[in-house]
């Protein structure tokens, strides 16, 4: 087990380092003159040069990379560099604030969106997938399969816009004003309003993900449905619900957990489209705004956050599945 953990931890570290290097290189290609992007519209060349000098944008690329990874100059009393404690993700060119601080402000919105949607789509997918696996080829199986294929074919932005049009706009015209058009209310401020404002975004992600997860659950349960211990459970008189939910589903959990961790990490890293449609001021929206403004440190920080969430999620799932396998 120790060797397994060390191997996975080493892979995590190399993955995060590779993401930093690649993202740093891509931002240098995309923003060849960030000082001009940050300067006022009619700024003089002297102003642009002063901005570049103050942000050390004229230094060689390897020195800028060294500043970012190891230790850079202090900006307004804030040390920069990933190897500081606590680690620093740099300093925003545009907002003149630490990137870590900006992300920490946005992460509760994205975390609420990702966690609620995950719980909903996993629960519904397990129920639909197990019942479809109990009667393969039945009307229920064909209907859920058809709906899954349709949901998998519809882009996220189409689902979100349709939900807004039907459940917000049309209902509002009819005098039913339950669903808000967007925005976010903190859970600590009002749990009911928190859930009400996130209901449409959750439903959007649910409809996007449930088609895939339902098919994975169905296939995983069918794969183990004819194994000896399942037949033994049936022979002992265990009912269909106990056989499929307690035995077959438990044995088929590994691919479900793996896929769930990947999807959760992807959303937590920034559900860009959903946040944009519903006006949620989360990490995805922060990343889009930073990319448009040429704010390279924020772009790198948001990308690195997504990478860290992804590798940590997969590491946890690898440990769980390894422990379940008994190796």
**3-class SS string, the chain:** CHHHHHHHHHHHHHHHHHHHHHHHHHHHHHCCCHHHHHCCCCCCHHHHHHHHHHCCCCCCHHHHHHHHHCCEEEECCEEECCCCCCCCCCECCCCCCEHHHHHHHHHHHHHHHHHHHHHHHHHHHHHHHHHHHHCCCCHHHHHHHHHHHHHHHCCHHHHHHHHHHHHHHHHHHCCCCCCCCCCCCCCCCCHHHHHHHHHHHHHHHHHHHHHHHHHHHHHHHHHHCCCHHHHHHHHCCCCHHHHHHHHHHHHCHHHHHHHHHHHHHHHHCCCHHHHHHCCCCCHHHHHHHHHHHCCHHHHHHHHHHHHHHHHHHHHHHHHHHHHHHCC
Is the pLDDT at 169 greater than 70? The verdict is: yes
pLDDT-derived band of residue 80, with 50, 70 and 90 as boundaries?
low
Give pLDDT tens digits for 208-239.
888 888 888 888 888 877 777 677 777 777 77
Among 26-30, 36-40, 186-190, where is mean pLDDT lowest? 36-40
Query: How many percent of the chain have pLDDT more than 90?
Result: 6
Q: How much is the mean pLDDT over the chain? A: 81
């Amino acid at each position: 087990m120790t060797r397994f953990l060390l191997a996975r931890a080493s892979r995590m570290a190399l993955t995060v380092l590779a993401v930093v290097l690649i993202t740093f290189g891509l931002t240098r290609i995309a923003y060849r003159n960030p000082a001009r992007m940050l300067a006022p519209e009619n700024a003089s060349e002297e102003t642009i040069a002063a901005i570049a000098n103050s942000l050390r944008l004229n230094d060689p690329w390897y020195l800028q990379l060294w500043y970012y990874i190891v230790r850079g100059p202090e900006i307004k009393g804030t040390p920069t560099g990933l190897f500081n404690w606590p680690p620093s993700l740099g300093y925003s060119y545009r907002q003149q604030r630490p990137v870590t601080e900006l992300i920490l402000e946005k992460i509760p919105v994205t975390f609420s969106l990702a966690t609620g949607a995950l719980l909903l789509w996993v629960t519904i997918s397990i129920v639909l997938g197990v019942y479809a696996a109990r009667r393969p080829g039945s009307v229920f199986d064909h209907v859920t399969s058809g709906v899954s294929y349709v949901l998998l074919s519809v882009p996220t932005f189409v689902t979100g816009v349709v939900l807004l049009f039907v459940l917000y706009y049309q209902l509002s015209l009819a005098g039913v004003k339950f669903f808000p058009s967007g925005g976010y209310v903190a859970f600590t401020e009002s749990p009911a309003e928190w859930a009400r404002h996130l209901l449409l975004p959750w439903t959007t992600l649910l409809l996007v993900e449930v088609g895939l997860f339902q098919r994975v659950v169905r296939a995983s349960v069918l794969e183990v449905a004819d194994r000896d211990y399942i037949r033994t459970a049936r022979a002992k008189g265990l009912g269909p619900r106990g056989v499929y939910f307690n035995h077959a589903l438990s044995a088929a959990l590994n691919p479900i957990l793996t896929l769930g961790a990947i999807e959760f990490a992807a959303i937590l890293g920034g559900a860009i489209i959903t946040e944009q449609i519903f006006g949620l001021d989360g990490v995805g929206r922060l990343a889009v705004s930073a990319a448009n403004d040429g704010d390279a440190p924020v772009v790198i920080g948001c990308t690195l956050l997504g990478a860290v969430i992804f590798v940590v999620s997969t590491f946890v799932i690898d440990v769980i599945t390894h422990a379940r396998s008994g190796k």
